[in-house]
A = this chain, B = another copy of it.
Amino acid sequence: MRIGELAAASGHPTRTIRFYETRGLLPEPTRSTNGYRVYTDADSHRLEFIRNAQAAGLTLTEIASVIHLRDDGTPPCSHVNELLDAKLADVQQRLDQLTELRSELQELVRRGRTLDPEDCTTNDICHILRPPSRD
C-alpha cells in the first residue's frame, strides 16, 4: 500500500502520515525500489488507534509514549490508565475554570445591558469591563 492509499483508507492527509512518522507515531516504512513508502494493514491499525487516542484528548506525544511501550513488548495498559486518569483530572480542572469564566461573562453581559454608552468615558476605555468579581 502506498501513502496515498493509506491516506484514503485512513482519512488522514498524506502530509499528516509523514508528519506522524517524524514524530515516532508510525514506524519507518519499507520503501519500494523507487523510494516510495510501502505500508501494511498494521499501519492502518495504528492510524485508527491514534485517532481513537486523540478523541480521548491525548496529545501526540502521549500517544507516542503508549506506542513505544507496545513496540518494546510491554503491554501499555497501566500507562494508558495513568494517562486517562491524569487527562480526566485535567479536563475537570478546565471545566471548573471555564464554568467560572462563564459566570464572569454572564455578569459582564448583564452589566453591558444596563450601562449607558453615554456614560462610558475615555479613561475607562470601556466601562463594561471591570476586574473579575471573586465570589
A104: B residues at CB distance < 8 A: 55-56
Interface class of chain A by DSSP = helix
Tell me if A95 is interfacial: C-beta within 8 Å of chain B. Answer: yes
Q: Is the CB of B75 within 8 A of A120?
A: yes
Q: Is the CB of B112 within 8 A of A76?
A: no
| A56–B103 CA distance with the chains assembled, in angstroms | 10
Nearest to A109 among chain B residues (CB) is B84
A128: B residues at CB distance < 8 A: 77, 80-81, 84
| A124–B108 CA distance with the chains assembled, in angstroms | 49
Which of A5-13, A30-38, A42-50 participates in binding chain B? A42-50
A46: B residues at CB distance < 8 A: 125
Tell me if A53 is interfacial: C-beta within 8 Å of chain B. Answer: yes
CB < 8 Å: which of B105, B115, B125, B130 contacts A88? Answer: B105
- 17 further contact pairs, Cβ within 8 A, besides A55-B132, A95-B98: A46-B125, A49-B126, A53-B129, A55-B131, A56-B104, A56-B129, A56-B132, A67-B125, A70-B125, A75-B118, A76-B125, A77-B112, A77-B128, A84-B105, A85-B109, A88-B102, A91-B98
